[in-house]
């Protein structure tokens, strides 16, 4: 169909008419000199009339629109499951899902052949990936057996729809057991469903297998076990995990905890027996053991295989265990949950070789005071003690004497400032009077509920600065840099007002009269009295590393470990247990014993794969450290990552960590089908005819399917001077006519 129309400039026929009349009126103008014959006059008039006509046509812009219609092509998509779960029984033990699906496809070939005459029929096999299947109209070339190790329904469906982009999808037939087992689906099911709904195409979902059949689902799987553990030698380690049990109701299930050393020697270190009271139950398993030797181990929680289990690789989980030599063990007693305690704990806990135990002794529970902790202080469980803003009435005299005796025998003691610390807390009348490196007034006391007596405190802000060179206050190796580092720290809010014993040393102060950090010795032990309580400002205002270093060095000095100067290489993995094809993030660096980063080290990383080959890993510099990512994890088994640090030609050291890639058969671990998942996908397209179809009814359903009666209208438009070529032709024609008219007048003596 062709339609003609005029589109005058400015949408005004009147304007075009006025311009045309004006141009015609110019025809009456004659040359003021020279004679012209009638033939020449006619030639000039005709030339001008042609020019006027072309100008008028250009202003009217005549347009022809041609419309054609053609039938839109449509595609019928058929996707069938080739994952190994299709080897499971369909509705009886003698008929597998794969056999039932193959039979259903064979019965549907005639209906597909009929539809192929009027539309495109695209057939795909899917497991973790989508594979096109040839269909010549007479037979489908199916694989001999399903071999897919994972099923990615969402990714396969989305991929199939993407391949048909720009075409009309008549319908999607999805066959399978509905079980989604992919570790890392390319596309989530919801996204694939949204794409299906956007196209407005019906889905015919054809499920195979039974859901939740206890007869099929006999399986015991260990789940929810952490990737790694770290414990100090001779400390009890609790191991927690979950046991998912399908089938085997009321059957005794043995569980063992197995320790494997670096020589791959196994030893059962704990065990128990559990019972499942209902099918599909998740049982919590808890086992404890105490490692006796320092080292790195593998710790496996193993459930005994049960009769009839198809898959036993998921009956165990392995984690990595690091048993450390006795690190620093510190007991922190605090009477007030103020910001300082939270940030102090964070700084100390950041060190791998320090184990901090925190106890809050709430002053609102004073009716339970004094607490009896003499045995705690007298034992060998701790290397140092921290007393926060804790009133002396919280502890009985025997406990305070035991604490003093522990310090005299070589334990460390750190006391912190606060409204109930030192003299305000009544410590001048306790055995700690002789232990602390400060002098407390006999009349000092801050009772609970009374106003705060300001004469026992120095109001801030207080700029804390070291009085000399000391291990605890060394925030930078150079003296000038160290002073600059301290000047950059935020000021303290205030401090306790004390006098210093002659035998003590002031390590830091706010001017000559306000001591802030005082050290001393008592017997074989060391004591630090920090009179402030607001170093948390350092952390909050961007000095996290200096805050951590200060408190770590305080702990090392208290326990006599300030001479440990070995540089240590560290290596961290984002996870220690991966699914095949997963990615692990790596980071590495080096630090000194006091915790500061080694800034001038060069690093290398390599990974030893389960088959014994080694791969170098490209690194990215991240400040003083390096980061990397490794995703070549298709092999199941143990991988070993090694980080090496060097300074020039000198080796700083190396560190290695292991991680595991699962060998679990996810396709067979859960034999139950999931037809509800297919039903949910079909429900998304219900308004266009989507539904669940039984395998026996698929052929009949396809025979009822008709190609969509859809046509596409296309329009071709032509307009005078509507494109560059036509515009130039019109322009050149006008220029040619005007030039010819001028040449004629020139030759005839009219110009």
Q: State whether 367 and 450 are in the same domain.
A: yes
Structure tokens at 631: 């995703």
Q: State whether 64 and 78 are in the same domain.
A: no
Q: How far apart are the first and last CA of the chain?
A: 51
Q: Residue 668 falls within a domain, yes or no?
A: no
- pLDDT of 364 reads 92
Q: State whether 444 and 308 are in the same domain.
A: no
The answer to whether the peptide bond before residue 370 is cis (omega within 30 degrees of 0) is yes
Residue showing tokens 């004469």: 455
Residue showing tokens 């510190």: 330
CB-based contact 309:218 (threshold 8 Å): yes
- pLDDT of 7 reads 77
Q: Residue 213 falls within a domain, yes or no?
A: no
Q: Residue 210 falls within a domain, yes or no?
A: no
Q: What sign for the dihedral angle of Cα 178, 180, 185, 187? A: positive
Q: State whether 453 and 339 are in the same domain.
A: yes
- pLDDT of 4 reads 77
- pLDDT of 14 reads 79
Position 70 confidence tier, pLDDT thresholds 50, 70, 90? low
- pLDDT of 751 reads 66
Residue showing tokens 């196209």: 199
- pLDDT of 212 reads 62
The answer to whether the peptide bond before residue 302 is cis (omega within 30 degrees of 0) is no
Q: State whether 227 and 161 are in the same domain.
A: no
Collapsing DSSP states into helix, strand and coil, what is residue 677?
helix
CATH code: domain of residue 106: 3.40.50.410
User: How many angstroms separate the CA atoms of 373 and 271, rounded?
Assistant: 35
- The pLDDT tens digits of the residues spanning 87-138 come to 888 887 678 999 999 999 999 999 999 998 888 999 999 998 999 999 987 7
In this structure, what DSSP letter does residue 519 have? E
- Sheet of 650-661, strand order: 577-578, 650-661, 637-647, 602-608, 614-616
Which 3-state string (H, E, C) describes 209-269? CCECCCCCCCEEEEECCCCEEEEECCCCEEEEEEEEEECCCCCEEEEEEEEECCCCCEEEE
Domain end (from 276, 293, 324): 324
- By mean pLDDT, which of 160-169, 255-264, 487-496 is the weakest? 160-169
Q: State whether 492 and 346 are in the same domain.
A: yes
CB-based contact 405:433 (threshold 8 Å): no
User: How many angstroms separate the CA atoms of 156 and 146, rounded?
Assistant: 16
CATH code: domain of residue 627: 2.60.40.1930
Structure tokens at 59: 């202003």
Collapsing DSSP states into helix, strand and coil, what is residue 421?
coil
**pLDDT over 70, % of the chain:** 93
Residues contacting residue 33 through CB under 8 Å, at least 6 positions apart: 750
Q: Which among 317, 300, 329 has a CA at the least distance from the CA of 234?
A: 329
> What is the CB neighbour count within 10 angstroms for residue 219?
24
- pLDDT of 459 reads 93
- pLDDT of 33 reads 44
Q: What sign for the dihedral angle of Cα 148, 152, 157, 160? A: negative
- pLDDT of 439 reads 94
The reply to whether the predicted model has a pTM over 0.85 is no
User: How many angstroms separate the CA atoms of 349 and 346, rounded?
Assistant: 5
- The pLDDT tens digits of the residues spanning 318-377 come to 999 988 776 788 999 999 999 999 999 999 887 777 889 999 999 999 999 999 999 999
User: How many angstroms separate the CA atoms of 186 and 184, rounded?
Assistant: 6
For residue 395, give its domain range: 328-558
Residue showing tokens 């990595």: 320
Q: Residue 563 falls within a domain, yes or no?
A: no
Which 3-state string (H, E, C) describes 366-418? HHHCCECCHHHHHCCCCCEEEECCCCHHHECHHHHHHHHHHHHCCCEEEEECC
Position 216 confidence tier, pLDDT thresholds 50, 70, 90? low
CATH code: domain of residue 518: 3.40.50.880
- pLDDT of 126 reads 95
Structure tokens at 7: 């589109």
Give how many domains the chain has, as a whole number.
5
Mean of the pLDDT values across residues 575-587? 87
Q: Residue 669 falls within a domain, yes or no?
A: no
Residues contacting residue 244 through CB under 8 Å, at least 6 positions apart: 219, 220, 221, 223, 280, 281, 282, 283
Residues contacting residue 43 through CB under 8 Å, at least 6 positions apart: 744
- pLDDT of 38 reads 77
Q: Residue 395 falls within a domain, yes or no?
A: yes
> Does the structure show a pLDDT above 50 at 565?
no
Q: State whether 374 and 319 are in the same domain.
A: no
CATH code: domain of residue 314: 2.60.40.10
Q: Residue 691 falls within a domain, yes or no?
A: yes
Q: State whether 385 and 529 are in the same domain.
A: yes
Q: State whether 552 and 584 are in the same domain.
A: no
- pLDDT of 562 reads 75
> Does the structure show a pLDDT above 80 at 671?
no
CB-based contact 179:127 (threshold 8 Å): no
> Does the structure show a pLDDT above 60 at 217?
no
Collapsing DSSP states into helix, strand and coil, what is residue 439?
strand
> What is the CB neighbour count within 10 angstroms for residue 20?
16
Structure tokens at 32: 């003021």
* Burial label, 508 (beta-carbon count in 10 A; 0-12, 13-18, 19+): buried
User: How many angstroms separate the CA atoms of 305 and 605, rounded?
Assistant: 39
Q: What is the CA radius of gyration of the chain?
A: 43
Q: State whether 30 and 81 are in the same domain.
A: no
Mean of the pLDDT values across residues 59-74? 73
Domain end (from 275, 304, 324): 324
Q: Which among 382, 340, 336, 376 has a CA at the least distance from the CA of 360?
A: 336
Q: Residue 280 falls within a domain, yes or no?
A: yes
Q: State whether 554 and 408 are in the same domain.
A: yes
Domain end (from 540, 558, 576): 558
Q: State whether 415 and 538 are in the same domain.
A: yes
Give the Å distances, CA to CA, from 631 to 477, 583, 625, 658.
40, 4, 21, 14
């Amino acid at each position: 169909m062709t339609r003609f129309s005029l589109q005058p400039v400015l949408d005004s026929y009147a304007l075009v008419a006025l311009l045309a009349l004006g141009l015609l009126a110019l025809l009456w103008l004659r040359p003021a000199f020279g004679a012209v014959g009638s033939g020449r006059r006619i030639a000039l008039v005709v030339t001008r009339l042609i020019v006027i006509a072309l100008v008028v046509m250009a202003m009217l812009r005549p347009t022809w629109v041609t419309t054609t219609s053609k039938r839109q092509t449509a595609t019928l998509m058929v996707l069938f499951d080739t994952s190994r779960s299709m080897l499971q029984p369909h509705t009886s033990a003698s008929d597998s899902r794969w056999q039932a699906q193959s039979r259903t496809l064979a019965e549907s070939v005639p209906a597909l052949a009929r539809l192929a005459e009027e539309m495109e029929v695209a057939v795909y096999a899917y497991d973790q990936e989508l594979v096109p299947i040839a269909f010549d109209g007479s037979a489908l070339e199916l694989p001999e057996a399903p071999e897919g190790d994972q099923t990615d329904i969402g990714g396969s469906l989305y991929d199939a729809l993407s391949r048909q982009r720009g075409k009309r999808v008549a319908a999607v037939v999805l066959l399978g057991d509905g079980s989604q087992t992919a570790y890392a689906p390319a596309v989530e099911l919801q996204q694939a469903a949204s794409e299906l709904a956007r196209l407005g195409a019906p889905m015919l979902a054809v499920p195979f297998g039974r859901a939740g059949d206890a007869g099929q689902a006999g399986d015991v799987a260990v789940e929810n076990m952490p990737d790694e553990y770290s414990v100090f030698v001779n400390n009890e380690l609790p191991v927690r995990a979950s046991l998912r049990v399908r089938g085997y109701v009321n059957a005794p299930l043995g569980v063992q905890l197995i320790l494997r050393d670096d020589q791959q020697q196994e030893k059962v270190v704990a065990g128990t027996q559990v019972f499942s009271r209902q099918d599909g139950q998740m049982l919590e398993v808890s086992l404890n053991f105490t490692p006796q030797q320092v080292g790195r181990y593998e710790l496996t929680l193993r459930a005994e295989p049960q009769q009839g289990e198809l898959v036993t690789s998921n009956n165990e989980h392995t984690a990595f265990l690091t048993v450390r030599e006795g690190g620093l063990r510190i007991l922190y007693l605090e009477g007030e949950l103020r910001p300082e305690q939270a940030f102090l704990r964070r700084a100390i806990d950041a060190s791998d070789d320090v184990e901090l135990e925190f106890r809050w002794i709430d002053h609102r529970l004073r009716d339970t005071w004094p607490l009896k902790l003499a045995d705690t202080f007298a034992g060998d469980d701790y290397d140092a003690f921290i007393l926060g803003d804790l009133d002396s009435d919280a502890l009985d005299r025997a406990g305070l004497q035991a604490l003093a005796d522990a310090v005299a025998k070589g334990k460390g003691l750190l006391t912190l400032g606060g409204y109930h610390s030192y003299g305000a807390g009544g410590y001048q009348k306790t055995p700690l009077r002789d232990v602390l490196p400060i002098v407390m007034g006999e009349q000092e006391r801050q009772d609970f509920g009374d106003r705060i007596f300001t004469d026992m405190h120095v109001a801030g802000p207080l700029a804390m600065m070291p009085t000399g060179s000391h291990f605890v206050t060394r925030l930078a190796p150079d003296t000038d840099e160290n002073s600059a580092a301290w000047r950059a720290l935020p000021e303290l809010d205030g401090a306790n007002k004390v006098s210093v014993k002659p035998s003590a040393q002031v390590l830091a102060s706010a001017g000559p009269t306000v001591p802030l950090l005082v050290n001393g010795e008592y017997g074989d032990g060391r004591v630090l009295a920090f009179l402030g309580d607001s170093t948390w400002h350092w952390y909050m205002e961007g000095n996290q590393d200096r805050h951590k270093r200060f408190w770590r060095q305080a702990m090392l000095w208290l326990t006599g470990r300030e001479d440990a100067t070995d540089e240590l290489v560290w290596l961290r993995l984002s996870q220690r247990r991966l699914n095949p094809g997963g990615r692990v993030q790596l980071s590495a660096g080096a630090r000194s014993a006091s915790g500061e980063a080694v800034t001038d080290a060069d690093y290398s990383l390599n990974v030893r794969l389960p088959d014994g080959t080694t791969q170098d890993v490209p690194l990215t510099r991240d400040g003083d450290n390096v980061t990397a990512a490794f995703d070549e994890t298709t092999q199941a088994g143990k991988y070993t990552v090694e980080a090496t640090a060097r300074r020039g030609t000198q080796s700083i050291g190396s560190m290695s960590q292991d991680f595991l890639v699962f060998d679990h058969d996810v396709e067979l671990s859960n034999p139950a089908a999931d037809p509800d998942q297919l039903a949910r996908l079909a429900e998304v397209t219900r308004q266009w005819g989507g539904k669940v179809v039984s395998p026996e009814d698929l052929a009949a359903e396809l025979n009822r399917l008709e190609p969509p009666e859809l046509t596409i209208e296309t329009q071709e438009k032509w307009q005078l001077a509507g494109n560059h070529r036509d515009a130039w032709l019109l322009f050149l024609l006008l220029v040619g006519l005007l030039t010819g008219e001028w040449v004629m007048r020139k030759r005839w003596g009219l110009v």
